[in-house]
Amino acid sequence: MIVVQGCDGGRWVCCGGEASFLLLLLLFSSLALLFTPVSGVQCFLCSYSPRGNSTRLDGCTDANFTEELIESRACSLGCEAVTSYDINEEMESFHRNCATNDTIMTNSCETYETRALTRRICSCNYSYCNTAFSSGGGGGRWWRNVLVMLMVVVVGVKFQHQLSSTAT
């Protein structure tokens, strides 16, 4: 039996190896799911070109992006979001996709200019990071993973506390 002194002066009692093992197994399984992608990272996939099809609605650019409505896919190299502007600084195209072998992975946004074209390329290498970059930079669904992790810890502590209450 393990006894740990709590912050409030109370005692937390763990009822031995079996419950502790299950609690640790749950915690490490959750960590493994959080940090080990099944096959690469998940990236959003969409595109928009204002000149390409005047009847197509923009659900892809940062101003109109909604995570829940956009398709995603597992990508082995990471994610990107690319905006292309013409010489008059009008947007020609925008896409979110898997990174390619040519993508320079910076986990930030870079602007590249030529005489005729300006491209803003945002690249990242963690799941759902190619979300709306202009609102603070590729955060995506990472906060949901952290929330799940916190819930697992809280449930584990509550479970351990209930076991200690029944053991005394």
Q: Are residues 55 and 131 in the same domain?
A: yes
Buried b (16+ CB within 10 A) or exposed e, 30-69: beeeeeeeeebbbbbbbebeeeeeeeeeeebbeeebeeee
Q: What is the pLDDT of residue 98?
A: 97
Q: Are residues 17 and 94 in the same domain?
A: no
Q: How many domains does the chain have?
A: 2
Q: pLDDT exceeding 90 applies to what percent of the chain? A: 41
Spatial distance between the Cα atoms of 47 and 44, rounded to a whole number of angstroms: 10
The CATH number given to whatever domain includes residue 86 is: 2.10.60.10
Q: What is the pLDDT of residue 157?
A: 65
Tens of pLDDT, residues 49-77: 987 666 667 889 988 888 888 999 999 99
Q: Are residues 77 and 122 in the same domain?
A: yes
Q: Are residues 86 and 131 in the same domain?
A: yes
Spatial distance between the Cα atoms of 33 and 70, rounded to a whole number of angstroms: 23
pLDDT band for 43, please (50, 70, 90 cuts): very high
Mean pLDDT of the residues in the chain: 75
Q: Are residues 46 and 127 in the same domain?
A: yes
Q: Which residue range(s) make up the domain with 90? A: 41-137
